[in-house]
Amino acid sequence: MQKEQKELVLAYHEAGHAVIAHALGIAVKYVTTLEDASAALTHSATYLARDADHPAQLEAIRKDVIVCLAGPHSQAKHRRPKKKEPDEWKDDIETASGLAARAGLVATGIDLRRLDENFECCLTAYQAEFAADLFQHCSEKARNLVDEHWTAIDTVAKALLSRPVLNGDDIAELIGRSSSRANGKTPDPARFLPDQR
């Protein structure tokens, strides 16, 4: 793949994380496509909800899993990868699986603050199934959100090509601009029809 194409693929991947985090109300610190450091750094909803009740914790974990998987879905919408799961998806999939496993524990009333690092190996069958279902649902949700927010993702990805580091304010501004442009581009056709009455 050409260098520019690679950069563009990376830009759509990271823009996917950033725009969907923003859409879910998760603060974005920065997004970058700098070589060897490409990342979208967002707050962790799971961490922020660590002392909340279990339904709120589950909701937060779901959001983080969706943000994780929005990167690969956005990248795939821009350009379908040759491999089913390219290497650059590995970290996202691992993080999302770890979070989904946590959700399985929360769903059965386990206090996450008491977990050790190897909790994933000791899930019960029910917890593992809960985790797998949650992963699947969040993946579908991430794909739908990427479709829904494609104009904004496209705007942020293209901006990353000329400015490889964007902070949270830049992202918010680009998303705001793209939504007003999207509204201008697709006017409601009914507005131009003669009054039916």
- Span from 4-12, 65-73, 116-124, 168-176 in contact with Zn ion (CB under 5 A): 65-73
Our CB check for Zn ion shows the closer of 9 and 174 to be: 9
Which range in 71-79, 114-122, 136-144, 153-161 contacts Zn ion by CB under 5 A? 71-79
For the CB of residue 13, give the shortest distance to Zn ion in the complex, in Å.
6
Residue type, 180: S
38 burial type by CB count under 10 A (0-12 exposed, 13-18 middle, 19+ buried): middle
Instruction: Tell me the residue type at 124.
Output: T
Interface region with Zn ion, contact rule CB under 5 A, candidates 27-35, 45-53, 91-99, 106-114: 91-99
Closest to Zn ion by CB, 92 or 154: 92
Q: Does 170 bind Zn ion (CB under 5 A)?
A: no
Q: Does 92 bind Zn ion (CB under 5 A)?
A: yes
71 near Zn ion, judged by CB under 5 A: yes
Residue from 57, 64, 52 nearest 26 by CA = 64
Rounded Cα–Cα distance for residues 11 and 75 (Å)? 8
**CA triplet 102, 104, 108: central angle to 5 degrees?**
115
Number of residues lying near Zn ion (CB under 5 A): 2
| Cβ proximity of 103 and 130 under 8 Å | yes
The verdict on 64 binding Zn ion (CB under 5 A) reads no
* Count, residues in the chain: 197
Which positions lie near Zn ion, rule CB under 5 A?
A: 71, 92
